[in-house]
Chain A
Amino acid sequence: MLGVAVAAAMLLDMVMLATGMRESFRQLLLSRGFEIRLAPKGTLPFDTDATIPGVSAITATLRSNPDIREISPVLGASIHIQVGNRDVSGSSLGVDPAVQGDYELLSGSDPATADAIVVNDYFLQQLGARVGDTINVATGYDPQTRTYSGQRKLVITGRVKFIYGATEQSGSAMRRETLETMRGEATRDRASLFMVRVREGADAERVRDWIETEVPNVTAISIATAIAQVDARLSYFRQLAVILGSVSLFVGFLLVTTLVTVSVNERAGEIAVMRAIGVSRTHVVQQIMVEGVAISVAGAVLGLGLGLVTARYLNAILSSFPGLPMAIDFFLFQPVAAWSALGLLILSGIGAGIYPAWRAASLPIAESLRREAIA
């Protein structure tokens, strides 16, 4: 039974893995309600250091479409802070705090003024700073001469959690105008990314097509296209999940077949007597099939708990891979996944019962009783 439970747990985990990443990514993209992202032509958001020029013009073009509700241009950059004799580096996003979709405020306040910055807990820890402290932030650092450029004193006004941030990544955000000023002419009126909210009821795919036509120097990525790209990049995981899931199902099938066959062999005399007293072959087959399904269901129930525990453990390991957003779950529990696994197990239980049921129904009554008597 434990073997069946382990196979069921493995199957559940693999179903969760096969569907979880996609769903988790979809939820992540939708978490702040931005349906479309614009990245420099031919890239994915923050895939490269490339930026989109003409933020003001693009914003004006986008505003002309009544289906577009909000636009959030985001500029990304590396920042450096001198702490004692060492340089602490991190990333910073230049945003409009009123419409941003990159972070959640944990405490304090948004960077409402030009000299404000919000940082994540990991950055705070690296800096040894607290909310309310003033830090000297630079957008450039030459490690050979140990000189900083684009420096500005900023006050930490809040603690935040970055939605797309990875574990152990120092992240911060300030007003886009502040970051532009600190980086100088090179990024004047430029953005690394635009995030776009569409009007409720509007067709995001149609808006995406419109943007690509009207703003030719960007790649517009809707949730659907983003998921398709993620699907393509993570297809390895899905294939692995399908293979391991199939193996688990097959192992479970073999275990149930073996258990029921052994049970039928041990009860050959009992089954022969049932047949002798008038129990039909059909009822014998039904009983053995039910036994197979019962073992599968019991294994599935045990496996559900085991699967959830192992999924949580494996998820913690995989989610800690460098560069992956913390919010991405590899194993996402969805009732549909649990039902799918249970359905597959029940089908496999029915299949597993066929051979032993056929054996039980075919037992020659007199011969089986004679063998039992000799035994």
Chain B
Amino acid sequence: MTQPIVSLRDVRRDYALGAERVHALQGVTLAVDRGDYVAIVGPSGCGKSTLLNLIGVIDHPTSGTVEIAGKRVDAMSDREATLFRLHNIGFVFQRFYLMPILSALENVALPMAEAKVARQTRVERAAELLAYVGLGNRERHRPSELSGGEQQRVAIARALANGPSLLLADEPTGELDARTGTEIIALFQRLNLDGTTIIVVTHDEDLAGAARRKIHMRDGKVVDG
């Protein structure tokens, strides 16, 4: 039996909201296997994004343990967490958040520059990734010269830049029309077939339907999946 790539045990996350305490996650235990494609679904405010943030090591749990790729990440320092994300996790967001002054190729190469990959290597890899997401002919274009779907594909290529073991996506089709959303869903499926572990948080039934596994959440708890 292979070790799961994501493993959460009794994870809780509380927030202070003014004088009140909000219990965003209430004892979540979860495992995701390597190579899986998981969709986390549920009503707004049920804790989906909070769960994704904890898996992505951009937030710390109030209690419980989080292990990613066999490593405890719940108590990492900021420096450790930053390095861990750089090499192990790819993020795709609803808004694409590309650097407006950089070209598509430069945007994709950015995480590799941060990881101190040699210039020639990162240019070649960025070009390969852009070709993989179907934007081989748009390398020199700036984000403002690309459509929403194209920008999201650049963001996906950027997320894959350092060869992460896990790809996390938060509402990746949220700002796209139906046709473009379908293209992104197909791209995720292709990525998963090629071996990438994917976890998406979504309200999009089509995107959730394309996943191998669905996790339903309600009121900060995993209720099914």
Contact = CB atoms under 8 A, between A and B. Distances in A.
Same complex origin of A and B:
yes
Main SS class of interface, A: helix
B138 interface: no
Interface in B145-186: 158-159, 162, 170-171
Nearest to A370: B49
Interface stretch (B34-42, B76-84, B118-126, B211-219): B76-84
Interface string A249-281: 000000000000000000001100111111111
Interface in A360-374: 365-366, 369-370, 372-373
B114 A270 contact: no
Interface in B31-83: 49-50, 53, 56, 58-59, 78-79, 82-83
A273 B59 contact: no
Contact of A366 (B59, B82, B83, B99): B59
Contacts of B132: none
Interface size class of B (residues with CB under 8 A): 20 to 34
A366 B53 CA distance: 6
Nearest to B161: A277
A278 B53 contact: no
Contacts of B170: 369, 373
A269 B99 CA distance: 11
Contacts of B49: 369-370, 373
B58 A369 contact: yes
B56 A276 contact: yes
Most chain A CB within 10 A, of B56, B58, B110, is at B58
Nearest to B84: A278
Contacts of A270: 97, 99
B95 A275 contact: no
Nearest to A364: B59
B152 to A, nearest CB: 13
Interface size class of A (residues with CB under 8 A): 10 to 19
A283 interface: yes
A269 B50 CA distance: 16
Nearest to B82: A280
A283 B116 CA distance: 13
A372 B95 contact: yes
Contact of A365 (B58, B79, B114): B58
A223 to B, nearest CB: 54
Given A273-B97, A276-B91, A277-B158, A369 B85 contact: no
A270 B155 CA distance: 12
Nearest to A273: B97
B91 A273 contact: yes
A370 B50 CA distance: 9
Contacts of B85: 276-278
A270 B158 CA distance: 14
Contacts of B115: 278
Contacts of B159: 277
A360 to B, nearest CB: 14
A274 B159 CA distance: 11
Given A279-B82, A366-B50, A369-B53, 5 more contacts: A269-B95, A276-B85, A278-B86, A283-B114, A373-B171
Interface of B: 49-50, 53, 56, 58-59, 78-79, 82-83, 85-87, 90-91, 93-95, 97, 99, 110-111, 114-115, 158-159, 162, 170-171
